[in-house]
Every structure is written in structure tokens, then in C-alpha cells.
């Protein structure tokens, strides 16, 4: 008994020695900033340091802030547009890249679909600005050459909110397509081929196999991709900031950009931290609801 206890103690100590570096770095760069952010949200805090203690007044303040609610709506609108389109596009590309066209062709398509994911947000944002520019941009030239736009008429992609969101969503879907696609491809390869062979023998068409076999078996991956896309979409900042700057006016201002401007332009980091915690609560609530729905689906 004593020997078994000593062995367990040694294993536990060895495990702690392996975990300790990660715990140290995680606590230093994740847990402590979260705690520090909450402390900042309770004060009037500027770039020069701590000011007066404000308690919950920063949290009450954003409840009456019209810009906060409008920027939250802009972010939610982007999420409602981006998440379904991104999931659908990545699923379609995964199905195409997973077709039995030969190993070399599969590698080629996967690399082509994944390649935009290695670009930075700055690169893809300036690509979008150049493509959407009037008169000399790619879209303008394409529409004129196809006769869709008459001579002398231009579409101001970066001047109207609806068109700006179209540009931002399109470039964001193209940019982040690869990662979600690879998750779907991994799940597709885990489906036994014998299931498709049995379905083909029973006379099931390709469409029937897709909707009766492939999509139901991809449900866990759908939930994973959905959660990841919700989190990343609610954190939209770089694309909008670089493409439209939140304009025209504040018509496309997302919540993260408003938090950024509040903290570093208006020098009000306490209020910005309070709004950050509001966004944190929204994301945690969405993740909790999704996990509940996923568990019900798996237990059904």
C-alpha cells in the first residue's frame, strides 16, 4: 500500500512538473489580464494609470450608451451574415476537396482553398479596398466589361453601409475559409466508406447519401465550427477598421472598434474594460446555449 501511494505521488509530481510551465504562462498571460481588466473596469482609468474608484458606474453607463447598442447591433448583424455563409462555403469546399479525383488533385485544391488563411488581416483588407475601388477597381472594371454597369456609372462599395458589409463579409469568408474547411475534411475522412457502399447498394443517390449520411455524421463538427465562427465573428475589428473605418459616420462601427476608440482615443480604459466584459458575457452565454443544444441533440 505504501509503495503504491509513493508511486502515485511520484506520478502526480511528475505530471505537475510537466503542467507547471503551461500553468505559469497561462496564468501570467490569460488569467491575470482577466483579473486586471475587471479591476480596471471598476475605476476611472486612463493611459497614465488608475484614477478614482467608480464601482459599477462604468457598467451602468454603457446600458444608456446609444453608440454601444448601435455598435453591438452592427456586430450582431455581421455575425448573422457571416456565420451561415462561412459555414456553408467551408462545407462546400470541403466536399469538393474531398472528392476522389486523385491524391495530387486533392492536395492542390486543399492548398488553394487554405492559402488565403495565411495572409494577414491588413493584406486582405487592402485587397478588398483595391478591388472595390470605383473607376479602376476590379469589380468596377469587371461589371463595365460585362455590360452590367453603363459607362460613367459606378457602384460606391465603400460608401453605403449595406455594400460595405457585403465587401467585409465576402473578404472575411474567403480569408477564413481554409481552417473550417480542414475541420470538415478531417470529419469527412472519419466516416467509414462502407456506409456509402451499403447505401449505394440499396440504391441511394448521391444527394440522398449527402443528406442522410454525410450531414448527420458531421453534426459534431458543425457545432464546433459554429462555436468558433460565433466567437471570431463577434470579435470583428480589423477588416472594418481598415476597409471603412466604421463609416460612413458610425454606420458600420463594430463593438470592438468602439471599445478600442474608447480606450486609446478617448483615454477611458475603465469604461472600455466594462464594455469588454459585456462582450465576454455575451460570448460565454452563446457558448453555453450552444453546448446545451448540442448535448440535447446527442442525447436525443
In a domain, 39, yes or no: no
Contacts of 85 (CB under 8 A, 6+ apart): 169, 173
What residues make up the domain containing 96? 66-121+163-299
The answer on pLDDT for 2 being more than 60 is no
Instruction: Read off the pLDDT of residues 132-166 as tens digits, 9 standing for 90 and up.
Output: 888 888 888 888 888 888 877 888 888 888 899 99
Q: Which three cell numbers stand for residue 262?
A: 474608447
Instruction: Give the pLDDT confidence score for residue 74 in this predicted structure.
Output: 93
Single out the residue of 292, 191, 244 nearest to residue 74, CA to CA: 244
Q: Which one-letter DSSP state was computed for residue 51?
A: E
DSSP symbols for 157-177 = TTTSHHHHHHHHHHHHHHHSH
The answer on pLDDT for 1 being more than 70 is no
Instruction: Read off the pLDDT of residues 217-261 as tens digits, 9 standing for 90 and up.
Output: 888 888 889 888 988 899 899 899 999 888 888 889 999 999 999
Q: Which three cell numbers stand for residue 5?
A: 501511494
In a domain, 22, yes or no: no
- Total-model pTM: 0.85
In a domain, 103, yes or no: yes
Contacts of 28 (CB under 8 A, 6+ apart): none
Q: Establish how many alpha carbons lie within 13 A of residue 44's alpha carbon, considering only the half-sphere containing its beta carbon.
A: 5
| 242: CATH | 1.10.3720.10
- Report, as an integer, the average pLDDT of 185-208: 85
Q: Give the whole-angstrom CA distance, residue 38 versus residue 255.
A: 18
In a domain, 78, yes or no: yes
Q: Which of 8-12, 30-34, 251-255 ranks highest by mean pLDDT?
A: 251-255
Domain count, the chain: 1
Instruction: Give the pLDDT confidence score for residue 298 in this predicted structure.
Output: 63
Query: Chain-wide mean pLDDT for the chain?
Result: 86
Buried b (16+ CB within 10 A) or exposed e, 242-269: bbbebeeebebbbbbbbbebbbeeeebb
Q: Which one-letter DSSP state was computed for residue 141?
A: H
Q: Which one-letter DSSP state was computed for residue 46?
A: E
In a domain, 14, yes or no: no
* Residue 45: strand pairing partners: 50
Instruction: Give the pLDDT confidence score for residue 75 in this predicted structure.
Output: 93
Peptide bond into 103 cis (omega under 30): no
Q: Which helix (H) or strand (E) holds 80?
A: helix 66-97
Dihedral over Cα of 86, 185, 95, 124: its sign: positive
Instruction: Read off the pLDDT of residues 65-116 as tens digits, 9 standing for 90 and up.
Output: 899 999 999 999 999 999 999 999 999 989 888 877 666 777 787 888 888 8
Instruction: Read off the pLDDT of residues 170-180 as tens digits, 9 standing for 90 and up.
Output: 999 999 888 99
Instruction: Give the pLDDT confidence score for residue 3 in this predicted structure.
Output: 56
CB 240 within 8 A of CB 168: yes
**Phi, psi at residue 52, to the nearest 5°?**
-70, 155
CB 140 within 8 A of CB 155: yes
In a domain, 112, yes or no: yes
Amino acid at each position: 500500500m505504501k509503495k503504491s501511494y509513493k508511486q502515485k505521488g511520484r506520478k502526480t509530481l511528475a505530471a505537475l512538473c510537466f503542467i507547471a510551465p503551461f500553468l505559469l504562462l497561462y496564468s501570467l498571460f490569460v488569467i491575470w489580464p482577466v483579473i486586471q481588466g475587471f479591476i480596471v473596469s471598476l475605476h476611472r482609468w486612463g493611459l497614465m494609470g488608475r484614477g478614482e474608484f467608480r464601482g459599477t458606474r462604468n457598467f451602468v453607463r454603457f446600458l444608456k450608451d446609444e453608440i454601444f447598442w448601435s455598435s453591438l447591433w452592427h456586430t450582431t448583424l455581421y455575425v448573422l451574415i457571416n456565420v451561415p455563409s462561412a459555414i456553408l462555403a467551408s462545407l462546400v469546399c470541403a466536399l469538393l476537396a474531398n472528392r476522389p479525383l486523385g491524391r495530387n488533385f486533392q492536395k492542390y485544391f486543399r492548398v488553394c482553398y487554405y492559402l488565403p488563411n495565411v495572409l494577414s488581416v491588413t493584406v486582405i483588407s487592402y485587397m478588398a479596398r483595391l478591388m472595390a475601388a470605383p473607376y479602376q477597381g476590379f469589380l468596377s472594371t469587371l461589371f463595365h466589361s460585362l455590360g452590367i454597369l453603363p459607362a460613367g456609372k459606378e457602384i460606391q462599395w465603400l460608401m453605403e453601409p449595406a455594400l460595405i458589409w457585403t465587401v467585409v463579409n465576402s473578404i472575411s469568408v474567403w480569408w477564413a475559409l481554409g481552417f473550417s474547411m480542414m475541420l470538415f475534411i478531417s470529419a469527412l475522412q472519419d466516416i467509414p466508406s462502407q456506409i456509402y457502399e451499403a447505401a449505394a447498394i440499396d440504391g441511394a443517390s448521391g444527394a440522398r447519401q449527402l443528406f442522410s449520411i454525410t450531414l448527420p455524421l458531421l453534426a459534431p463538427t458543425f457545432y464546433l465550427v459554429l462555436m468558433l465562427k460565433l466567437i471570431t465573428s463577434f470579435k470583428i475589428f480589423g477588416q472594418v477598421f481598415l476597409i471603412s473605418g466604421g463609416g460612413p459616420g458610425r454606420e458600420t462601427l463594430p463593438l470592438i472598434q468602439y471599445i478600442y476608440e474608447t480606450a486609446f482615443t478617448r483615454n477611458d480604459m475603465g469604461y472600455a474594460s466594462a464594455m469588454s466584459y459585456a462582450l465576454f458575457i455575451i460570448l460565454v452565454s452563446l457558448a453555453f446555449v450552444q453546448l446545451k443544444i448540442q448535448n440535447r441533440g446527442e442525447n436525443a
